[in-house]
Every structure is written in structure tokens, then in C-alpha cells.
Amino acid sequence: MIHTNAHLSIRVKGKLLQLHTPLVMAIINVTPDSFYTKSRINLPNEISTAVCSSLHQGATIIDIGAYSSRPNATDISEKEEINRLDVALSACRKEFPDSIISLDTFRASVAEFAIKEYQVDIINDISGGTLDKNMFDTIAKWNIPYVLTHIQGTPQTMQENPNYEHFIPEVLYYFSEKLDLLKQRGISDIIIDPGFGFGKTLEQNYALIAHFEVFHHFQLPIMVGISRKSMIQKVIHTSAEESLNGTTALHTLLIEKGAHILRVHDVKEATEVIALTEKLKTIHHDF
């Protein structure tokens, strides 16, 4: 087991959020076309119920997204994304004003709206700043934690023909380059996400897991988002609805390899995995 969590933290709401134990980020999708149908919610009471359940089950961060990033997702306007978020963030802040909210968006203008109007705490950008040249400047302006994700292509094209000459080195170079740009702007609260499913073949997704330790080179928190994805479905020949067991198996492995944040649909099961792997750390080797 790799112990990499001891000294890592991010500053949220003016306080240090410690990552010595892995945390759970709960997915709240306010979209009509997310790949996992049970995660689609739109009405304020449904949103409040989902957030309440996630917090009760042990989520530390609530990740709200209004633009589906599944392969071949329908592109929606900035206005539509903001309208959906207005409903969701209003409901969440009204019922749970002190919750840590992450916003899943690649648009700087949407991020700025949510920061100004609803004081979201983290920006989770699946594009790593590649789809909006203003994103990094917006993050610097508001001095807010940022999830930097690796992607090749866009949500509409990323799985058409992922192409790399040297896959792992190219992913590492991507992070090095992006991190340099962020740090030039004085941004230090950064979480990296290898971007499972975002412009990768099935084999490349599993290569990320096999070589996961290389991401500790950056000495930053690492988030993983593999929950119920097709990389699980294709191996065990199942659907998103039947992929919880496969998700749990990979979560266990990724925690052992040093993942700090699990972005999940199923909070209870993820917190149980963390509890069990944490228990192993307390066992001495002199039995």
C-alpha cells in the first residue's frame, strides 16, 4: 500500500481541507443525458434530496454539473448551462449553506457566475483549460481551488480516435505544461485528475491505473473519476446500472495506489471502501 496522503491539503473556505484520508466527491448531475440514467436530476426537491443523502452517507464535496461530458454528449449553450445551475445551486445553498460545492464546468463565464452568485468552492474543469482560454485567469482572479483534468479532444470528439505516440509520457507532459501556466498565475490549490475516459482507449484507461504512481511526482492531490464508466462495462460485459461492483473493485486498487479523492455516483459504497482500506493501515506487521 502506498501512503502519499500525509502532507497534502487544499485551502477551501479559508481552511485547510486535509487529505491524509481519501475523500469522496458526490456527483450531482442536473442534465437530461448523463450516461448513468439514475444520476439525472432536475427539480429542486430532487437536488436537495440527493445532496442530503450524499452528505449523510459521507461525501465531503458535492460536485454539481449541468453539461454532460459523456462521449458524443449534446452541446448546450452557456445560457442553458447557467439556467440549470441556477436551479441546482440555489437549492443546494439554501438547504446546505456550509457544504463544499465543486462546479463541473469548462466555461470560465459559467464558473464566474457560480462563484459570484453561489460562492462555489472548487472548479472542476474536464478540459484542463483547453476549451476556454479564459479559465486559468478566472481561477487566478477568484483564488479558488481547481481540478486540472487531462483530456484529448472535446466531449463530442474525444472517443472517436484517441491518438498518442507515447501515452504516459504525453499525459505527464500535459500536466507539467498546464501546471506551469497555473503556477505562473499564482494558483497553488490544484487537484489533478488523469481523466479516465476523456480521450483514451480502453487499454489506455487501464494503463493509467497500472502506472498510477507516476502522478505522485507532481506532489498534488489526485482525484479519480471511474464511477460506472464504460471502461468497467466493457471488461465485465455489463451496463452502467450494473457496474457498481466493478467500480468498487477499481476504487480499492486506486486508493491503494494513492488516490486522494474519489468522484462517485455511489457515496455509501465509496466511503465503505475508504474505511476498509484505512483499517489496513492500522495493522502492524509484527503479527
Active site residues: 229, 263
Three-class secondary structure of residue 164 per DSSP: coil
Cell numbers at 115, concatenated: 462563484
Which residues lie closer than 8 Å to 192 by C-beta, 6 or more apart? 147, 148, 149, 150, 175, 179, 215, 218, 220, 221, 222, 223
Provide the total of helices (H) and of strands (E) in the chain, helices listed first: 9, 10
Relative orientation angle of helices 167-184 and 135-142, to the nearest 10 degrees: 50
Q: Which parts of 155-282 are beta strand (E)?
A: 190-193, 223-224, 261-264
Bridge partner residues of 263 (DSSP): 25
Please report the DSSP string for 12-38 in residue order.
ETTEEEE-SS-EEEEEEE--S--SSGG
Contact 108, 138 (CB under 8 A): yes
Please report the DSSP string for 73-86 in residue order.
PPP--HHHHHHHHH
The CA distance from 122 to 87, in Å, is 18
Q: In whole angstroms, how far apart are CA 50 and each of 41, 163, 213, 225, 230?
A: 8, 38, 33, 19, 24
Residue type, 161: N
